[in-house]
Each structure stands twice: as structure tokens, then as C-alpha cells.
Amino acid sequence: MTPPVANSFHEMWEELRPLGRDSSSGGYRRFAWTGADGDCRAWFRAQAEARGLAYELDRNGNQWAWLGATTYRDVAPGEAVVTGSHLDSVPDGGAFDGPLGVVSSFAALDELRRRGAEFGRPLAVVNFGDEEGARFGLACVGSRLAAGALTPEAAHRLRDGDGVTLPQAMERAGYDPEAIGPDPERLAAIGAFVELHVEQGRALDLSGDPVGIASAIWPHGRWRFDFRGEANHAGTTRLEDRRDPMLSYAATVLAAREQARLAGALATFGKISVEPNGVNAIPSLVRGWLDARAAGQDSLDTVITGIEQAAAERAARDGVELSVVRESFTPVVEFQHALRDELGAILGKERERPVPVLGTGAGHDAGILSGTVPTAMLFVRNPTGVSHSPAEAATEDDCVAGVTALADVLEGLACR
């Protein structure tokens, strides 16, 4: 007989699964303030209301579902225990990155109610908007705005690839962009935020554990490299007469790989735009976005300096102008030890061996909030480690193990 916790998880999972999924790639295109994002937001509200939770939309468009309060204003400072994640995706992302945390949060609440848990503190499930930054280029916009790590003015300047600004996108989706800004009282109400997330790596697969606890998030960021050359005819311009930005870009991609290898870091050029983007035209502009991450700030700085130097040297050789802009950055996050260890103690009680503690190079809302709110993360095993891809996966048994672990943690933190 399937345990009720599995039924509750599976039911929600199947309702959410088709929303924003692209039939040709099988990946998800749930970009901030688009119709697909709106469908996911409607799903979140329906889950909250179906459980009699008080639904609240905050000034930054993050969604909250409260148990034991109707809004953060009912909650004494540091009293609320909050769990959740995000529902938006990278282009053609997987089903689990984000949604696993939100679905598991509602399912964990269902499980606590089934256990007859007596809630001593208010609880909330949250969906943070625009965590991936897939449309406007900045990660964790919803949680950064709430934490004051992104000013409304800077947020208003964000623009997508079609030139649509964040305010325009919010307005078209029925939200007030003038309302956005820091939410310190809301965050002050939170005594603990626990985000469950699919592991984006294979540490748990290698250790043979279904669930792990996060120790830290690597410092990481996004840099835009603009290479400006001279448009010309591909079929008539002599090689020596060219100022071809594609050459400078290509050399920089290879240099990024080499710098990362030398520093034991990670560097990826995964997004490019070319103008005029014609098969028979030498480009006038090649724009490439670098994602770079390292275990420590010094190594990250070394990698970035090395890549920028290599790009500048090659651009000079090609007669190409270079500009580099840092578009998004998250410093190293060390999750609060007391909360991390409390999760370890709670989960260690019911399990034969301690739950592993592991670091990650992936950014999360929990990382953004960790400067203002005690935060922790639970990871659920990903058998291949693949993420940001339609191939991202986790077994249903491991997802249920994650829900059970989250329910244990929430019971330990919020119940008498």
C-alpha cells in the first residue's frame, strides 16, 4: 500500500508537471512573469487554499502560504519556520530544480497534519520568484529584493532579450512594479528558513544516501563579455582585413576552460548572442555570458582575472573592442552552523547513520537569505547529478525520503 505521504507528493507532482513544459525539448520554460510562470503561481495558490493556508503575495511577487498566521504581521520576530523554494526554471530546465522543494514543502505539511503534530510556531511555505534569472539575467530576484540585496532602481533597469523591462513584464502579468523593495519586517519574522532542493551533483549518489544537508554555497557570478568588431562580407573580406569578434570570443571560451582547470574552479560560457547573426556576415558584435564559480573567493578572483586578461589580449590582436560587465554575483555562503547541526541531530535520531553534510556550487534563495535569516538546506539524491537539463531526475522513493526528512525537520523546529 502506498504511504499517504507518497500519494500527497505524487498528486501535486503530476498536477505541476505539465505546466511550462516544452513538448519538443521536454524541458521547462517557466520564465519570470510569463504565462508559464503565472500558471505555476496559480498552482501554488490553489495548493495553499486547498489546505486552508492563508495565501499572501508579498511586495516582490513572492508567494506565501501561512499556517498559524494570516500574514507575517501576525508573527513575533524570529517565530516563523518557513520552507519552500522556487518554481521558475532555466531554459529547458528539469522538473525538479525548484519545484521539488515547493511540492515537498506542501507534502511535508500534509505529513505533519497526518502525524497529528501540534504546531507551536507559525509555519509558511514560500515560492520565491525569478530564482534562475533566466529572463532578466540576475539570479534570485525575488529573494534579493526582499533581503535588500537588489535595489528597486536596479531591478527596474533589468531588461530581457527582447528589450522588455522587468517593470513592464510585471505589469503585463498583473503585478505592481512600483511596490517592489526590501521586506525587513517580513524576514525578521522568520526564525528558520529550510529549503529542500534536488542535489545538482552526485555526492549523495556516491555516498548512497537519499538525503543530505548543505554546508556551504560556493561564491559564483555571471559576467557579460561584449566583443565589438567590424561587420563585413564573409565571402569577400580578406582574413588580414577582418576585425572578427567571433575569434576573440572563441579564444576567450578556451581560455576560460584553462583558467578554471588551473584553479580547480568552474567556468562556463553557455549563452551567446551575435549581431547581425548571418551565416555570410562577419559579426559586428558577439556577446557572451560567463558563469564562473569556485570553492573560495581568491580562486574565483584568479579565474576571472585570468579570463579577462586572455580576452583583452586576444581582442587587441583581432582589432576588437572588449567590455566586461558583472551582471550577477553571490558571495560564499556558509550556512549557520547551529541550524545545520540541529537538522543533523533531528535527522540523525531516526536513521542508522548520520546524514551527510555537503557543499554545492549551485546558488539558491536560501543562500541569498542567509545573511539576514537563519537558513539551512536539505538535498535529495539525484542519481546522475544532471541538472539544468530535461534529463534531471530523482526517484520517487528518494523524493518521499526528502519529504519525510523535511517533515521531521519542521516537526523538530516548529512543533511542541
Residue numbers of the site for Mn ion (CB under 5 A)?
Answer: 97-98
Residues 226, 229, 233, 239, CA torsion sign? negative
Name the grid cell of 275.
Answer: 549581431
Tell me, residue by residue from 299 to 338, as one string, x for binding to ligand HGY by CB under 6 A and - for no binding. ----------------------------------------
Q: How far is the CB of 110 from Mn ion (least distance, A)?
A: 22
Residue 363 in the binding site for ligand HGY (CB under 6 A) = yes
Comparison of 139 and 414: residue with beta carbon closer to ligand HGY:
139
**141 touches which of ligand HGY, Mn ion, none (CB within 5 to 8 A by kind)?**
none
Identify the residue among 79, 110, 131, 411 touching ligand HGY (CB under 6 A): 131
Q: How far is the CB of 250 from Mn ion (least distance, A)?
A: 27
**98 touches which of Mn ion, ligand HGY, none (CB within 5 to 8 A by kind)?**
Mn ion
Spatial separation of the C-alpha atoms in residues 149 and 367, rounded to whole Å: 12
With CA atoms as reference, report the closest residue to 406 among 70, 95, 110: 110
Residue 214 in the binding site for ligand HGY (CB under 6 A) = no
Residue 195 in the binding site for ligand HGY (CB under 6 A) = no
Q: How far is the CB of 363 from ligand HGY (least distance, A)?
A: 4
Q: How far is the CB of 131 from ligand HGY (least distance, A)?
A: 6
Q: How far apart are the first and last CA of the chain?
A: 30
Spatial separation of the C-alpha atoms in residues 215 and 348, rounded to whole Å: 16
341-363 in b/e form (b: 16+ CB < 10 A) is: ebbbebbeeeeeeebbbbbbbbb
Q: Is the bond into 374 cis (omega within 30 degrees of 0)?
A: no
**183 touches which of ligand HGY, Mn ion, none (CB within 5 to 8 A by kind)?**
none
**363 touches which of ligand HGY, Mn ion, none (CB within 5 to 8 A by kind)?**
ligand HGY
Spatial separation of the C-alpha atoms in residues 41 and 45, rounded to whole Å: 6
Residue 392 in the binding site for ligand HGY (CB under 6 A) = no
The residue at minimum Cβ distance from Mn ion is 97
Spatial separation of the C-alpha atoms in residues 113 and 133, rounded to whole Å: 35
Q: Which stretch binds ligand HGY (CB under 6 A): 118-126, 131-139, 159-167, 350-358?
A: 131-139
Site size for ligand HGY (CB under 6 A):
5
Residue with cell 505592481: 176
Residue 132 in the binding site for ligand HGY (CB under 6 A) = yes
Comparison of 54 and 149: residue with beta carbon closer to Mn ion:
149
Identify the residue among 100, 213, 358, 362 touching ligand HGY (CB under 6 A): 362
Comparison of 131 and 209: residue with beta carbon closer to ligand HGY:
131
Identify the residue among 138, 139, 145, 158 touching ligand HGY (CB under 6 A): 139
**Distance from CA of residue 107 to its chain's centroid?**
21
Helix (H) or strand (E) holding 220: strand 220-228
Cβ atoms within 10 Å of 61's Cβ, excluding its own:
25
Spatial separation of the C-alpha atoms in residues 90 and 133, rounded to whole Å: 8
List the alpha helices (DSSP H) in 66-118.
99-115
Q: How far is the CB of 365 from ligand HGY (least distance, A)?
A: 9
**Distance from CA of residue 106 to its chain's centroid?**
19
**411 touches which of ligand HGY, Mn ion, none (CB within 5 to 8 A by kind)?**
none
Percentage helix, strand, coil, to 5, in the chain? 40, 25, 40
**139 touches which of Mn ion, ligand HGY, none (CB within 5 to 8 A by kind)?**
ligand HGY
Spatial separation of the C-alpha atoms in residues 291 and 133, rounded to whole Å: 12
User: Can you give the binding site for ligand HGY, defined by CB under 6 A?
Assistant: 131-132, 139, 362-363
